């Protein structure tokens, strides 16, 4: 994998990920530097005790533009986008309309009541473009291109986890208008949170309780139980098993478990 780090006109970081031996990237963003006003804020839910991100500036982000105006396509034909190059394999860049930002490191506003606790929305949000093909999807990627996306996830997880104050790095993809996606171009996101997200916190606590009670690993025992039961198995490979969870929360939900226990993405082979 070849990694090229550069900056957009407004100072946001952009990283190209290309196959080994590919050309060196040197495209410069020709757009004028127009940084967006970014003021994310964290608010503590007094009822549930969960942190909630409030980012009003995201109302100004592009909303389902036509394909000819897509900001995630390469810059071609005299039209400049978020990716200055005329083509690319995989690209990661700082979100122009982030829910969390290093710019949010200032003092949080005063609250009129101790029940209304706020903190600066400090963190980082990145966009991962899986391919330059506007009409493709992750499922259309070749194995080598999917591996390049995984390499990008691993690299970004490693770098973002090392940032001061970051407690969780989360790679994900929301896809389709039904879930609120505003750009149809095949892409995902990476969030570097200054707190542990509620579901992750519950999973860790549950695993710790199971370990204390049984002396065993909950994920390994759950994987073994699903493979033995077999009724919910979707696919069993050499290194991974996919299954519908016993207590699925969504109409379509599949979990992927590795057969070899690893702590995080960077530990994958």
Q: Percent of the chain having pLDDT more than 90?
A: 72
- pTM of the full structure: 0.90
CATH topology of domain 201-267: HIT family, subunit A (3.30.428)
Nearest to 153 by CA among 74, 100, 90, 195: 90
Q: Please, where in the chain does CATH 3.30.428.10 lie? A: 2-196, 201-267
Choosing from 187, 239, 255, 259, which is the catalytic residue? 187
Using the predicted structure, report yes or no on whether residue 106 has a pLDDT greater than 60. no
CATH topology of domain 2-196: HIT family, subunit A (3.30.428)
Over residues 63-79, the pLDDT tens digits come to 778 878 999 999 998 89
Over residues 5-43, the pLDDT tens digits come to 999 999 999 999 999 876 667 778 888 888 777 788 899
Q: What is the DSSP letter of 129?
A: E
Give pLDDT, residue 22. 67
CA distance 67 to 153: 26
CA distance 68 to 205: 47
CA distance 174 to 180: 8
Lowest mean pLDDT across 82-86, 178-182, 226-230? 178-182
Active site residue 89: no
């Amino acid at each position: 994998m070849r990694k090229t780090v550069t900056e957009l006109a407004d100072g946001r970081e952009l990283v190209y990920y290309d196959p080994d031996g590919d050309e060196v990237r040197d495209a410069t963003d020709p757009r004028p530097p127009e940084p967006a006003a970014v003021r994310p804020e964290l608010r503590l839910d007094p009822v549930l005790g969960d942190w909630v991100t409030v980012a009003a500036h995201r109302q100004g982000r592009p909303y389902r533009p036509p394909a000819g105006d897509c900001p995630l396509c390469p810059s071609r034909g005299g039209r400049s986008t978020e990716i200055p190059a005329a083509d690319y394999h995989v690209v990661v860049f700082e979100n122009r309309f982030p829910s969390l930002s290093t710019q949010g490191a200032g003092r949080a506003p005063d609250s009129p009541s101790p029940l209304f606790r706020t903190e600066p929305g400090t963190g980082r949000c990145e966009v991962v473009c899986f391919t330059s093909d506007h009409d493709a999807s992750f499922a259309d990627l070749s194995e080598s291109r999917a591996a390049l996306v995984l390499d990008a996830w691993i690299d970004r997880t490693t770098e973002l986890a090392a940032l001061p104050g970051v407690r969780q790095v989360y790679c994900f993809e929301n896809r389709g208008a039904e879930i609120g996606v505003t750009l149809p171009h095949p892409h995902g996101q990476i969030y570097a949170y200054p707190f542990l997200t509620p579901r992750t916190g519950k999973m860790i606590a549950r695993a710790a309780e199971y370990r204390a009670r049984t002396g065993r690993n909950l994920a390994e025992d759950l994987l073994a139980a699903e493979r033995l039961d077999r009724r919910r198995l979707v696919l069993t490979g050499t290194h991974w098993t996919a299954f519908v969870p016993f207590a699925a929360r969504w109409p379509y939900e599949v979990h992927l478990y590795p057969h070899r226990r690893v702590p995080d993405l960077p530990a994958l082979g």
